[in-house]
Amino acid sequence: MNQQKKIIGLIGGMGPFASAYFYKLLLKKSSIIYGAKNNDDFPEILIDSVPVPDFISGTNRLKEAKRILVSRVKKMNDYGVGSIGMVCNTGHILYNDLSKIAKAKFVSMIGLVAEEVEKRGYKRVGILATKTTIIFSLYEKVLSNKGIEVVYPSSEYQKLHEMIIRDTIAGKVVSGEVKKLEQSTRQFVQKNKLDGVVLGCTELPLVFPKENFKNVIDCMDVLADKLLERYYN
């Protein structure tokens, strides 16, 4: 294996705890799926935890965020990574701009989730995400092209999700919020007769009780699988 061409580049920091979780997820999957045991069995990973301005609920500082992220992709180019993943759904607003600059394959989390939804045969899915991800229809644009209907939570539930997302970024989610998230999602699924639910924000997998639900697609899970597949194969 030419390690220099196989390095996984991660653009994170949006938020930091999600990026740390994703790093551990890559290591865990490397061990379980690919049998990594020794130090040199695990992938080389370059993590850039970037303090990007907040665009969870608005895009007032999107130009500043774009400037910062463009500079980080260029650094990834200089380092010679083999694949790039961005540990943030909302950041994919800038995916087309960033992927044009990247010399390595810039893997789209949104695209991978859409492929997984299609693979499972879901025809009607709910999207739990930030307000900005929903406004920009990041998932809807891709899924609708596959003939898959997208349903969003009510504005009341979206406010709950944003509160949980912000608390997760700050590292202070409490059990009561998780319980509300579980209850609201269960109602959301039942009311809209959904085939599945997409955790379309990287903070949600840190707290969402996936073990209590069927047919949940975790955005970080599918991104980790693809990055490791590219690294080990």
Contact 139, 174 (CB under 8 A): no
pTM of the model: 0.93
pLDDT for 57: 67
pLDDT for 127: 98
Domains of the chain: 3-108+222-232 (3.40.50.1860), 110-219 (3.40.50.1860)
Q: Which residues have C-beta within 8 Å of that of residue 217, sequence separation ≥ 6?
A: 113, 116, 117, 120, 125, 196, 197, 198, 199
pLDDT for 52: 86
pLDDT for 173: 81
Of 123, 129, 127, 121, the residue nearest 149 (C-alpha): 123
Q: What is the DSSP letter of 35?
A: -
Q: How far apart are CA 179 and CA 185, in angstroms?
A: 10
Of 232, 181, 233, the residue nearest 26 (C-alpha): 232
Beta bridge partners of 8: 45, 83
Both tokens of 57, joined, read 């609920």
Amino acid at 111: G
pLDDT for 5: 53
The angle formed by the CA atoms of residues 36, 24 and 83, to the nearest 5 degrees, is: 75
Question: What count of residues does the chain have?
Answer: 233
- The mean pLDDT values, 10 residues at a time, for the chain of 233 residues are 71 93 98 96 95 78 90 95 96 95 97 98 97 94 97 94 93 88 96 97 95 95 97 94
Q: How far apart are CA 111 and CA 107, in angstroms?
A: 8
Pairing mode, if any, of strands 149-151 and 105-107? unpaired
